[in-house]
Structure 1
Amino acid sequence: MSSSRIDALTRWAAKQNGLDVANITIAPAGGDASFRSYFRLTLPDGSTQIVMDAPPAQENSAPFVAIGRRWYAAGLPVPNIHAADLDSGFLLLDDLGDTPLQAFFTNEQSTQRSHQQALDLIGQLQNRANPKALPAYDAALLGRELDLFPDWCLDKWLGLSIPDSWAALHAQLIEQALEQPVVSVHRDFDAMNIMVLNQHLYMIDFQDAVAGPLSYDVISLLRGRYCRFSNEQFSQLVQHFYDQARLDGRLSRHVSSANFLSQCHSMAAQRSLKVLGIFCRLTLRDQKQGYLARLPHFLEHLEDSLNSLPQHDEFSQWVSATLRPAITQRLADTLI
């Protein structure tokens, strides 16, 4: 980020608070996988705000602002957006601190409790946020996401051919997703996007929210980057969500817990394949370092999901016999 842009951002933030630049301090507060970066603004009284810098040439902040203001008005725990200059790419937000949910994954009990709290937060989102104002997570979008796997992981990074079993898997994963109730989906409900402040959970990075499958955010959380649950643990957490969704009417009594668990495994396979493709694209196209090292974790998520979907045994066997060795060897050659 250029010094002139930092100066412009600082002047803008000061103006929004009716202050002179000399009366505030601003310091880096982190970034993410996009082109966005964040700064902590300290005011004369010691209170703080977060200034988001989202260069408009690379980032369209209009969805973040629109969704954030709707969800805040609906009583959901998201940062209040105090000001936004979309032409410049500057936003002024509540400061939710520096503690993401994964900071509480310190032992089995705390990890379980934290995930249950986050699953309950998904329930709040699904109950309070109207999905009709969001883009549809339809067959076309689900398909484009799945295609990231053969395009970027297999072809461009590994140089592998698509297995014959791919077409059936592709079609059935989309079909399973579309069978589910449509709700507001955060779409990146990973622990890193859940901030903990004063023992309350808050959602951030919701700009890609869509109207889509009930289980998607559940999978973003339970098959995320920080934990790998056993089949028993995964099933227990899914059951926790299922019980709440049945209780408040998000899920029909006609959907059994076994059927919903199967839908979750299908959704997990879809997301794991997408993530494998995205991480390869971030590495190859965007020159972002560090994502390749995360591939084995999401490969394990994919294998866990496929092991619970016997109808996709052929693809599962290809993953074990061909994909895993290829990724292992490519990483060994790349990360030396």
Structure 2
Amino acid sequence: MQREQLIDAWLNQVLPQQDFKINYLAGDASFRRYARIALSSQRYMLMDAPPEKEDCAPFVQIASYLSSYGARVPQIVAQDLTQGFLLLEDFGDQLLSTELNQSTVDQYYLQAFAQIIQLQSIAVDAQIFPQYSAEKLTDEMRLFDHWMLPALDITLSEAQQSMLNNSYAWILDNLKNQPQVIVHRDYHSRNLMVLESESVLGVIDFQDAVVGPDTYDLISIVRDAYVQWLPEQVAKWIDQFYGLLPESAKVGRSLEQFRIDAEVMSIQRHLKILGIFVRLFVRDGKSGYLKDLPRVMWYLRQELNNCPELAELQSFVENDVMPKFEQKYGTYQELTIEMLKEEVSQ
């Protein structure tokens, strides 16, 4: 049977004797897809995750656990893990990304920060949330080596490979010393929903949550790969978030150290994203993310500029990577920043 026929048959089982309409939505970077299920007086969201490509079990397990602690995640109405079907509460259509502008962003980001703090306060169950291991963090950074650099026809010398190894080791040393909490891992404006008649944001796409550094989700949203804000705004938000942390996360950790921690976490994440976006195109044929590469590279360059311990990595990016990167993917024009400044002043 075609996948759509299987879905229709399953829905007739879980919604017996009810007329419903299925509207498939645009896909994302995974093999999952979603459809809105409309009944006469109710709406649901269907997650279709082919079991040979995706595993729904972590989503179900994490959703149940987070919900039990009051996190605003979709309620699971029905499930069939064998076929890879989930029927979920419908959070609506208002992605946070579509609601952000200079007059709303502070309010929404404070809500987003409060949600992160709540997630970080939840007791960790090691059976549900794996550790964000040094091996995993390193493998993610090496996506930069394995996908971005070959796409630019850059072959590393022994000295350059050694430099990258040393840089990654320094980054890992910082990350392992940050407080370890529940980390969403993809906490940005396209995975947060503005819910009708609710004062909290809905959280989606949390199935890859782990236990890792407490700056990860913060920098995922303030340095969003899909939208950019003025550096001074980001600096203000990082300071605000520090103020929201529990005292246990500040012991022996000044605001200045927290700022450094945020920079280092940003570098790790953006090395990974640069590799992922190239891989999505080269391996999976998804070209939509290429337009975001210049923004992510802009972030990385700014972050490296704030970490003198990574001066060799910064030099490599500026002198060896950027000429080929700009030729292939373009630049992130400073005009964009100037436009933001004009918007702020209006």
TM over 0.5: yes
| TM-superposed deviation, 1:250 | 4.7
Partner Cα separation in structure 1 for residue 116 and residue 82 of structure 2? 32
| TM-superposed deviation, 1:167 | 1.9
- Counterpart among 57, 64, 74 of residue 79 in structure 1: 74
Match of 2:135 in 1: 140
Match of 1:261 in 2: 259
Partner Cα separation in structure 2 for residue 312 and residue 241 of structure 1? 25
Match of 2:33 in 1: 37
| TM-superposed deviation, 1:253 | 2.8
Partner Cα separation in structure 2 for residue 131 and residue 306 of structure 1? 34
Name the SS of the counterpart of 1:217 in structure 2. Answer: helix
Change (3 A) 1:250 1:6: farther
1:298-317 to structure 2, matched below 5 A, reads 298-317=296-315
Name the SS of the counterpart of 1:41 in structure 2. Answer: strand
- Count residues in correspondence: 323
| TM-superposed deviation, 1:7 | 2.1
| TM-superposed deviation, 1:60 | 1.0
| Counterpart residue identity of residue 97, structure 2 | Q
Partner Cα separation in structure 2 for residue 224 and residue 321 of structure 1? 25
Match of 2:324 in 1: 326
- Counterpart among 271, 274, 277 of residue 273 in structure 1: 271
1:11-26 to structure 2, matched below 5 A, reads 11-20=9-18, 23-26=19-22
Partner Cα separation in structure 2 for residue 307 and residue 57 of structure 1? 43
Match of 2:116 in 1: 122
Contact 1:187 1:209 in 2 (8 A): yes
Change (3 A) 1:131 1:327: farther
Partner Cα separation in structure 2 for residue 327 and residue 305 of structure 1? 18
Contact 2:111 2:200 in 1 (8 A): no
- How far does the alpha carbon of each residue in 1:38-66 deviate from its partner, in whole angstroms, 9 at most, with x for none? 1111123x210001110111111111111
Instruction: Say what the alpha-carbon RMSD is for the aligned residues.
Output: 1.6
Change (3 A) 1:236 1:307: same
Name the SS of the counterpart of 2:303 in structure 1. Answer: helix
- How far does the alpha carbon of each residue in 1:6-34 deviate from its partner, in whole angstroms, 9 at most, with x for none? 122122123212335xx111111332111
| TM-superposed deviation, 1:169 | 1.2
- How far does the alpha carbon of each residue in 1:184-240 deviate from its partner, in whole angstroms, 9 at most, with x for none? 000000110001112430110011111111111111111112333333222211111
Match of 2:333 in 1: none
- How far does the alpha carbon of each residue in 1:67-91 deviate from its partner, in whole angstroms, 9 at most, with x for none? 1111111110000011111110110
| TM-superposed deviation, 1:131 | 5.0
Match of 2:229 in 1: 229
Query: Where in structure 2 are there 5+ consecutive unaligned residues?
Result: 331-346
| TM-superposed deviation, 1:126 | 0.8
Query: Where in structure 1 are there 5+ consecutive unaligned residues?
Result: none
| Counterpart residue identity of residue 75, structure 2 | N
Change (3 A) 1:211 1:151: same
Contact 1:131 1:183 in 2 (8 A): no
Change (3 A) 1:283 1:202: same
Match of 1:287 in 2: 285
Name the SS of the counterpart of 1:39 in structure 2. Answer: strand
